[in-house]
Amino acid sequence: MNGSLNQPLSGNDMPRFGGIATMMRLPYARTASGLDACFVGVPLDIGTSNRSGTRFGPRQIRAESVLLRPYNMATRAAPFDSLRVADVGDIATNPYNLLKSVDAIERGISDILSHGCKPLSLGGDHTMTLPILRAMAKKHGPLGLIHIDAHADINDTMFGEEIAHGTPFRRAVEEGLINARRTVQIGLRGTGYAADDFDWSRQQGFKVYQADALWHRSLVPLMDEVRVHMGSGPVYITFDIDSLDPSFAQGTGTPEIGGLTSMQALEIVRGCWGLDIVGCDLVEVSPPFDTSGNTALTAANLLFELLCILPGVERRN
């Protein structure tokens, strides 16, 4: 093991309920300089359309992440023996101005990317993925996108506004941030404004896997298909926690019944291993509606799983 790499603070050195609540009890770093990957919070909820509260998401995900240990017992991934990782704190969103918040997020992510560091962002409502993709596309060109969500988030406008948590992927196509032929949406369901709402995605060339077609199934074969479809170019993963069934993740603003299971979420993330992943986010955790903490706990675990599939992470025999 490289002694210069950061390790999460062990529960045997400081009790898990003690210490500073960084993501996974990693060191806090003021900038991404010298890091291979970082966790960054985006406390944002003024882009939400229904129940808010995701401004508290990053803090609660960090709080629930204290139980996470450094090794993945299913995949044997050893991310902290492979990459230098830290928590770089939160991007200063503007709670009175969504457009200024969007610009601040793009600047914050651009700064992380300028250090050659891969961001894993803790949300925050899904509006945040638009400025993240703007920063990412400046560095990498149009990205492949794996989008896990109950919702397609491709509305043209919401309440007349072009920037909101239900519009980021329409804007991303219009702005050329993502390659529609390398975009996959998994878990879509619920009720629509019109019966053909999801057809816009398909018309762009997205692959769309609606939740009802995934019920009662292992998603390992699906992810074999997704990996082939995504090929070798850069891929961004955006994971909306409301893709999970409310029985697994009730603490979110726009829940939809009939969703993915926690086990399917793990199959999806683990099934992305081998792709050229350049960044990830986990969005829409709303602690005021997360009475058990299970939603934030699930989000923390999925962020660890996302870290475990970054290129360069070794797996132990």
Q: Select 126 or 170, whichever has its Cβ closest to Mn ion.
A: 126
**Min. distance of Cβ 54 from Mn ion in angstroms?**
11
Q: Is residue 240 a contact partner of residue 256, using CB atoms and an 8 Å limit?
A: no
Q: Select 80 or 289, whichever has its Cβ closest to Mn ion.
A: 289
- C-beta neighbour count of 225 within 10 angstroms: 14
Buried b / exposed e over 252-266, threshold 16 CB at 10 Å, is bbbbbeebbbbebbb
* CB neighbour class for 281 (10 Å; exposed up to 12, middle 13-18, buried from 19): buried
**Min. distance of Cβ 153 from Mn ion in angstroms?**
4
Q: Select 89 or 255, whichever has its Cβ closest to Mn ion.
A: 255
**Min. distance of Cβ 66 from Mn ion in angstroms?**
27
**Min. distance of Cβ 215 from Mn ion in angstroms?**
18
**Min. distance of Cβ 242 from Mn ion in angstroms?**
4
**Min. distance of Cβ 1 from Mn ion in angstroms?**
38
Site residues, Mn ion (CB under 5 A): 126, 149-151, 153, 240, 242
Question: Measuring CA to CA, which residue among 268, 187, 265 is closest to residue 225?
Answer: 268
Tokens of 111: 């700064």
DSSP designation for 9:
P
Q: Select 87 or 240, whichever has its Cβ closest to Mn ion.
A: 240
Q: Select 150 or 219, whichever has its Cβ closest to Mn ion.
A: 150
- Inter-residue long-range contacts of 97-106, CB under 8 Å, 24+ positions, other chains counted: 97/46, 98/46, 98/47, 98/127, 98/163, 98/164, 99/163, 101/44, 101/46, 101/127, 102/127, 102/128, 102/130, 102/131, 102/163, 103/131, 105/42, 105/44, 105/131, 105/132, 106/131, 106/132, 106/134, 106/135
Q: Select 25 or 147, whichever has its Cβ closest to Mn ion.
A: 147
Give the whole-angstrom CA distance, residue 226 versus residue 61. 28
**Min. distance of Cβ 284 from Mn ion in angstroms?**
6
Q: Select 109 or 128, whichever has its Cβ closest to Mn ion.
A: 128
Residue with tokens 């070794």: 314
Tokens of 9: 């603070």
Length of the chain counted residue by residue: 317
**Min. distance of Cβ 42 from Mn ion in angstroms?**
14
Q: Select 149 or 290, whichever has its Cβ closest to Mn ion.
A: 149
